[in-house]
Structure 1
Amino acid sequence: MVGVETVAQATARSKIIAAARHVFVNPGYAAATIKQLADAADVSVQSVYFVFGNKPSVLSALLEVEVAGDEARISTLDRPWVAAALGAPHPLGQLRIQVHHGRLILERTADILLALRAAASADEDAALLWQTNLAQRRTVQQHLMIGLVEKDPSVDLETAINVALTLTSAETYTDLVVESGWTGEQYEEWVVGTLASTLGLDQAKKSRPRRM
Structure 2
Amino acid sequence: MNESVKRPYDATRRRAQARETQRAILRAAHDLFVEQGYGRTTIAQVAERAGVSSETIYATFKNKPTLLHRTWDVTVGGDDEEVVFHERPEVMAIRAEPDLAARFMMHARFSTATARRMTPFVRSVLGAAASEASAAQMAAEMDGQRLAGLTVMAREAAATGQLKVTEEECRDLIWAMTDGHLWHQLVVERGWSDEQYADWLGRTWVNLLVQDPVQPRG
Q: TM-score, with normalisation over the residues of structure 1?
A: 0.90
> 2:200 maps to what in 1?
190
> 1:39 maps to what in 2?
48
> 2:23 maps to what in 1?
14
> 2:85 maps to what in 1?
76
Percent of matched pairs sharing the same residue: 25
Do structure 1's residue 129 and structure 2's residue 141 form an aligned pair?
A: no
Do structure 1's residue 199 and structure 2's residue 209 form an aligned pair?
A: yes
1:159 corresponds to which of 163, 169, 174: 169
Say if 1:117 and 1:130, in contact at 8 Å, map to a contact too: yes
Structural RMSD (CA):
1.9
Residue deviations 1:73-130, cap 9 Å, x none?
1111211122211211211111122222221111111000001011111111111111
1:169 corresponds to which of 149, 155, 179: 179
| One-letter identity of the residue aligned with 1:188 | A
Do structure 1's residue 60 and structure 2's residue 60 form an aligned pair?
A: no
Cα distance, 1:34–1:13 mapped onto 2, change above 3 Å? same
Say if 2:108 and 2:201, in contact at 8 Å, map to a contact too: yes
1:97 counterpart SS class? helix
2: distance between equivalents of 1:71 and 1:88? 27
Deviation at 1:7, TM superposition (A): 2.6
Residue segments in structure 1 that go unaligned for 5+ positions in a row:
206-212
1:164 counterpart SS class? helix
> 1:209 maps to what in 2?
none
1:155 counterpart SS class? coil
Residue deviations 1:1-59, cap 9 Å, x none?
74444233211110011111211012210111000100111111111111111111222
2: distance between equivalents of 1:67 and 1:102? 11
| One-letter identity of the residue aligned with 2:194 | G
Question: Aligned pairs, how many?
Answer: 205
Larger Rg: 2
Say if 1:110 and 1:174, in contact at 8 Å, map to a contact too: yes
Correspondence 1:132-143 to 2 at 5 A: 132-143=141-152
Q: TM-score, with normalisation over the residues of structure 2?
A: 0.87
Q: Which has the higher helix share?
A: 1
Deviation at 1:172, TM superposition (A): 1.2
Say if 2:104 and 2:202, in contact at 8 Å, map to a contact too: yes
| One-letter identity of the residue aligned with 2:139 | W
Residue segments in structure 2 that go unaligned for 5+ positions in a row:
1-8
2: distance between equivalents of 1:34 and 1:165? 33
